[in-house]
Structure 1
Amino acid sequence: MSGQLDNLSDEQGKALENFKSQLSDDYLSNDGTYLRFLRARKFVVQDALKQYRETCDWRREKDVDTILERPQPLEEEIQEILASSYHGFDKEGRPLYLQCSGSMDVERLVAFPIDDLIYRHVYHNEKQISRAEQNSTRLGRNIETVAEIHDMSGMGLVHRKSLSLLRNVINIDQTYYPERLGRAFFINVPRLFYILWQIAKVWLDPVTATKFVLLPPDQINKLKEYIDADQLPVEFGGTCTCPNGCFDYLGKKKANGPVVNSNDLGTPV
């Protein structure tokens, strides 16, 4: 059985009830959330409870619940060195995030304080979860996972300097956001990427690692097996043409005024 709310075995259902019976704090209070922690810990109840309690403590300590009410950290600085966008949805209704990771200025990125970069990543996670919740309401079905596409065009050896940051991000996601990733697509991957991937894959839970899809330049059209063409920018083989382009970055804002990304919510999936 999948371990999802509508597809539980008898044993999984008992584990959920056992989990709930031991809660003295229902801070995140809903069965879907509890099941994410149970799935992440292979339905070993005590392990799931430990991770859940640590997550609740971390969210309180970092005031994560109100993070979207505050300005996104390093917004202009990151926009100057990295083209990205919250853009559309995949065929499962997951909110998409697009990032041109291969062409980012890695030297400038890693020069920022690590705490600021981690804070920004937490903001990003909460933004994607909020978009998933909005699409759940719109479609009338539960969507709790997210998707992202990283264009690795232009990647060079300098990207190895970002591995420490990547390891920190993976730790945050696997510790405090279990079972949130639906798919992560890496497109236009050069040969160098596969070398760094062998390093990064060691830090990933084996189940999480299976959610990564690596596509060299001649296989970019496989994105459309997972994502409708009108949800993809033309740069990624799609047909979407947002008024000012599908990517948000500061240079466009200075030249053209505020970027209008018409596909932030996307067409209904």
Structure 2
Amino acid sequence: MSATTAPTTEPAPGPSSETAAGTAPPPTTPSAPASLSGHIGHLDAHQTAQLAEFKSKLMAEGIYRASIPGTSIAASHDDGTLLRFLRARRFVLPDALEQFRDTEAWRAKNNMDLLYEKIDIQDYEETRRLYPQWTGRRDRRGIPVYVFKVASLDSKTMSAYTKSSQRTNISMSSTSSTLSTAPSTPTSSGFFGGGSSTEHHHKETPARMLRLFALYENLTRFVMPLCSIAPGRPNPETPITQSNNIVDISGVGLRQFWNLRSHMQDASTLATAHYPETLDRIFIIGAPSFFPTVWSWIKKWFDPITTSKIFILPSGKEEVFAGLSQFIDPENIPTQYGGTLPYTFGELPKLDAALASLVHWTPAAGKHADSGEGTLPIGPVLWERHEHKGQWEAIAVGSVEGTDRREVVARLDEGMRMFGEEGEAPEKEKEEA
């Protein structure tokens, strides 16, 4: 893969091992039709037919349920999720079926819904402070922006994290709603690498990775639905199903990269096998002179689609800002990268004005937040529709010392619909249109 030397009309891939890190400016934004191909609202005839057949075959296997019009019964998986699997396999139906089938089996085996809803809040927060974190902001297309400081994953921290992750875990029994204190069995499954979803499905999942999976659940069950209904974003006909990541590798030495190899492989296996097409772009910042060596490892761990989304920004704060600001407004770029957002890695998200306008906080939100009422609480949060009122509510879940937490921390306006509810765009977007 070769680095670009000037902005072009289409995004160009990341660095090659022959190119010094930090010399490539970012790509320019592709046109909406090209970047949204295969997404809701931008399907061609073939893709539409493949989606319909995909649903039919999944229903025949009993791993997908369609919605029932006129009732409260929703589809088991929304179209945005199904299309992620189809795009990941270039709409080749047998391949997408295999990956979806393996993912459903993996989710059942590891009880992923229960893990997110029952995980100890302090365990969740320990994990959140180490890995890619949502800033509460979005790029110009409305895609959420995450920041990841790799230097936080030093050997001492990772050793303590691995130890604590074995202390508590969700029981693998599909009928259990309790926590198990038994440590998980270590395996050789590898954060960034990995083979096919079929290979991964037959391996035991390390406890430390199950915590990381909880962060992906937050992306799909809270962040994406909220970003999809934000007013004023381009292409409101298309739900948000991806994220952008600013990966800061400043201060990371070659030895630390080497020590993180297997962990990076685990993350890649996770993202490509069971959360496909959730990544829009990765912007790498602070690449050291030896990064071409590291890149020679990394490009073997990622699948080709993922590597095409990785871009190295030039060194220097002004150059980094110039690159990021092609895609993200300055007020949504952290100050350390030249923007005006006062954000420190580890903090809870600070919602932008458009997102904040949708959310009506309850007093419970402040009780669980670091900075008082009106901010996101610590721990996992998900969206649920009130059974009787029909109003969407943000529910703070997880557990504290073995006791389940389940509190309404925010509500949307009455009558506000989540994207795709009953197959339509959000109600407010329809009104604005």
Common fold: TM-score over 0.5: yes
Once the two structures are TM-superposed, the CA of residue 48 in structure 1 deviates from its matched residue by 0.6
Q: Please, what TM-score do these two structures have when normalized by structure 2? A: 0.54
Contact 1:72/1:120 (CA < 8 Å) preserved in 2? no
Listed as ranges, the matches of 1:14-53 within 5 Å are 14-23=49-58, 24=61, 25-26=63-64, 28-53=76-101
- 1:93 matches 2:142: yes
Distance in 2 (alpha carbons) for counterparts of 1:47 and 1:79: 32
Once the two structures are TM-superposed, the CA of residue 5 in structure 1 deviates from its matched residue by 2.1
Instruction: Give the match for residue 160 of structure 1.
Output: 258
Letter in 2 for 1:161: N
Q: For the structure 1 residues 117 and 153, does the alpha-carbon distance in structure 2 shift closer, same or farther, using more than 3 Å as the test?
A: same
Most deviating of 104-113 and 4-13: 104-113
Counting matched residue pairs gives 253
Q: Please, what TM-score do these two structures have when normalized by structure 1? A: 0.84
Q: Which of 333, 349, 352 is residue 266 of structure 1 equivalent to?
A: 352
Q: After TM superposition, which residue ranges in structure 1, 4 or more long, deviate above 3 angstroms?
A: 72-80, 82-85
Q: Deviations over 1:175-205 (max 9, x none)?
A: 1011110111111111222211221111212
Distance in 1 (alpha carbons) for counterparts of 2:83 and 2:300: 25
Distance in 2 (alpha carbons) for counterparts of 1:73 and 1:117: 14
Letter in 1 for 2:302: L
Q: Which runs of 5+ in 1 are unaligned?
A: 249-258
Higher-Rg member (1/2): 2
Q: Which runs of 5+ in 2 are unaligned?
A: 1-33, 66-75, 164-185, 187-205, 356-433
Instruction: Give the match for residue 175 of structure 1.
Output: 273
Instruction: Give the match for residue 320 of structure 2.
Output: 220
Instruction: Give the match for residue 305 of structure 2.
Output: 207
- 1:7 matches 2:42: yes
Q: For the structure 1 residues 110 and 213, does the alpha-carbon distance in structure 2 shift closer, same or farther, using more than 3 Å as the test?
A: farther
Contact 1:103/1:154 (CA < 8 Å) preserved in 2? no
Letter in 2 for 1:71: D
Q: Deviations over 1:48-89 (max 9, x none)?
A: 111111111111221212333223574565578x58642022
Where 1:247 maps in the other structure, the secondary structure is: coil
- 1:240 matches 2:346: no
Letter in 2 for 1:179: E
Letter in 2 for 1:18: E
Task: Give 1 or 2: higher helix fraction.
Answer: 1
Contact 1:86/1:98 (CA < 8 Å) preserved in 2? yes
Where 2:64 maps in the other structure, the secondary structure is: coil
Q: For the structure 1 residues 236 and 230, does the alpha-carbon distance in structure 2 shift closer, same or farther, using more than 3 Å as the test?
A: same
Most deviating of 94-103 and 50-59: 94-103
- 1:147 matches 2:239: no
Q: Deviations over 1:8-63 (max 9, x none)?
A: 22222222222122123216422222221111111111111111111111112212
